[in-house]
Amino acid sequence: MILGAEAQVRTADAVMRGLRASDFPRIIPLAENVHAYEDLKAEIGTSFAFTTNSLFVVTSNGVLVADTQGSIICKLTKEQIDFLSKN
């Protein structure tokens, strides 16, 4: 799912934003060839049902993924790269 930045509500709480698990992961264009990747940290209904974001930039030489989520979330980083390679 690709959304425009204007659709964003300023909270990481997925429930407060009216989102469902099926809305994720999603790509949000920020500028030409610059995108945010948004996914859930944990399942909806838990206290960790907030979104996490990473940045990726598409160039003629490849894709740069800027993920500052830390080592404890490496599984999400791998899932992000797998998702991006399919889209």
pLDDT tens per residue, range 30-39? 999 999 988 8
- In the prediction, which pLDDT does 63 show? 86
| Spatial CA neighbour of 41 closest among 83, 9, 6, 79 | 79
Query: How much is the pLDDT for 51?
Result: 76
Q: Which residue has the tokens 């598409």?
A: 58
Euclidean distance between CA atoms 45 and 49, whole angstroms: 6
Tell me which of 81 and 60 has the higher pLDDT. 60
Predicted structure pTM score = 0.64
48 pLDDT more than 60: yes
Residues 58, 70 contacting (CB under 8 angstroms): no
The CA distance from 55 to 44, in Å, is 23
